[in-house]
Structure 1
């Protein structure tokens, strides 16, 4: 059954516990402090720092999805997960294709 420290909605899905929120908060703070320190006290080349900040940002997005939005592969969360994946695909297509179009236009303008 469910732990007593968890809060439940009317649908019976879990909304986390104090421990889960605290772990999420600590992970988020660590994943914020590391890129901040990398930028404020540069010790790596700029391109490595940029990729490290991006990678830690992606990890932080997943930490927020797990610990704060409680998105997982549980049966109750399937439709939310599918909606998230669909949204990410649409955003990647929109941004990626827009960049491709702008690059193509830029290339064609330089050719003439």
Structure 2
């Protein structure tokens, strides 16, 4: 239920624009992070108990690898773009 409310809140933020335009992207990013935490807690049942820490470490390591892959790809592509101009 809370994940659906967070999704609706992000859509409402774009549709009704209750905040200035410069605050839209940080607001959407904040709602996305809260939704990720909600999914970890209620759908994946990941919390800070001793028995679930291994699962949390696996997810954090996967996130680190994904960030390295995306960041490296972005760096290579932006470097190639700078060299073409």
Superposed pair shares fold, TM > 0.5: yes
- Aligned residue number for residue 52 of structure 1: 27
* 1:76 and 2:29 aligned: no
Residues matched between the structures, number: 85
- Aligned residue number for residue 7 of structure 1: none
Gapped regions of structure 2 (runs ≥ 5): none
- Aligned residue number for residue 4 of structure 1: none
Gapped regions of structure 1 (runs ≥ 5): 1-24
* Structure 2: distance between partners of 1:45 and 1:108: 36
- Aligned residue number for residue 36 of structure 2: 61
Query: Structure 2 residue aligned with 1:40, among 8, 12, 15?
Result: 15
- CA shift for structure 1 position 44: 2.8
* Structure 1: distance between partners of 2:51 and 2:18: 45
* 1:93 and 2:68 aligned: yes
- CA shift for structure 1 position 86: 0.5
Deviations 1:8-38 (A, max 9, x none): xxxxxxxxxxxxxxxxx2x212211211111
Q: SS of the counterpart of 2:48?
A: coil
Q: SS of the counterpart of 2:17?
A: coil
Structure 1 vs Structure 2 CA RMSD? 1.4
